Structure 1
Amino acid sequence: MNLEEIKDFILAHKQYVIAGLIVTGIVIWTKVGNAGDANQQNTSDFNEVASTTTADDKAATKDSDTEPAKTQSEPTKTQTNSEVTCDISGAVKKQGVYTLKTGARLQELIEAAGGTAENAQLKHVNRALILQDQDKVHIPYRGEKIKADDIISSVNGTKTSSTSASADTTTSDGAKTSGKINLNTATAADLQKLNGIGEKKAEQIIAYREKSGQFKKIEDLKEVSGIGDKTFAALKDQLEV
């Protein structure tokens, strides 16, 4: 069939050709519309999935950020020292360093040291005082004159409000402003500063003082074993009571 014949056929059957074109157009339009709806539905589903995923990710991130914060907010447990160690000297039976429970009072320290000596002076000593770690305690002898600050001293500062004793110009090492050593207040270290007095003799002097009481005059020093007239003569000018 040539071109002329085709043209004549179309003209003869144009109503059928037009109807066919209309049907074809409708079919094509319907398919395009359905495809568009499908694409729109797919896009909506994708956005919903993406939104859900984003929300889950945010929740997971929030939980992840919160967890370390909880860990950091937990308080750190600290261990406290449950003991105090104190040094006691003076008119007690066993001078030395003792360890007691935190909150212990001075009376407990005295008991740990064997109790007080017979010549202890406790009138102005507050035995209910709560001790602190590294406290230095000196229980005065009867008639001993020392500064109130020297009875109890602490690494956190000298304590003066809870204990006191009669005070004069006596220094903390037992020597008065005259420069002489007081036989009734001197420590073993103080006594070793005297001419001819070593560690052993110093301990003998203190032992005599604790047993027999205060020296009434410097000549009483000769009653101590090992100290004769010659030794006394060499150091008498350095002594007082």
Structure 2
Amino acid sequence: MKKIYQHIIDSPKLIISVLLSIALLFFGTGLLAGRIISQKDDGHVPLNLSLNSSNSSIVTEENMREEKKTYKETSKETIPVINYVDVKGAVNRPGIYSFSLEERVHDVIEKAGGLTDTADGNQINLAAKLTDQQLIYVPVIGEEIPEAAKDQQSHPVEETEKDGQEKKINLNTADLAQLQQIPGIGNVKAQEIIRYREEKGSFQKIEELQEITGIGAKTVEQLRNWVTVTGE
């Protein structure tokens, strides 16, 4: 043993070789351990993270589609149908006023401040229904309503049949001007109604109006007394 020890001490090259071998052994062991740890990390944590990210992406896309669908459905109900009439003549505040489908001529005249002291209320029908873009002209006592005002103030929707019932507008045969006589139906919606019946052939039921942007179930119910899809 002493001879071996003495031989090692007397041989510097041998000492260096032994030290290098030991160093390489430690280096190799550390490298192998690091690779094993790296493989564990690659095989477990990133996979879960990848799956979670994928699932999260799927949920987000589904939520977005659902939100768009919900918005589209609710937007039909929340978009208000705004109608306007032009009130002129012997009222205290002439001007343009909005109205709901339930209101009559009397209501918008009240919004215009009521009749003046010189107004001739006998020449106007305060109970008449209103249509979008209608002109309401109130003459003074002794004045005749101008012909131009009579033409615009006429109420085609109130045309009656022999049985005294109001004549409804047929969604399948009415032209652009006739469709705009329906309360709440302006030029844009009238064009969409015509486009819809050209694409679908015809309206089979009044509820199909909900396919028109801005018209929901509540509006359809309000329009039942104004429109038809048959010859009634």
Higher RCO structure, 1 or 2 (CA under 8 Å, sep 6+): 2
- Please say whether Structure 1 and Structure 2 have the same fold, judged by a TM-score greater than 0.5: no
* TM value normalised by structure 1: 0.30
Larger gyration radius, structure 1 or structure 2? 1
* TM value normalised by structure 2: 0.31
Greater helix fraction, Structure 1 or Structure 2: 2
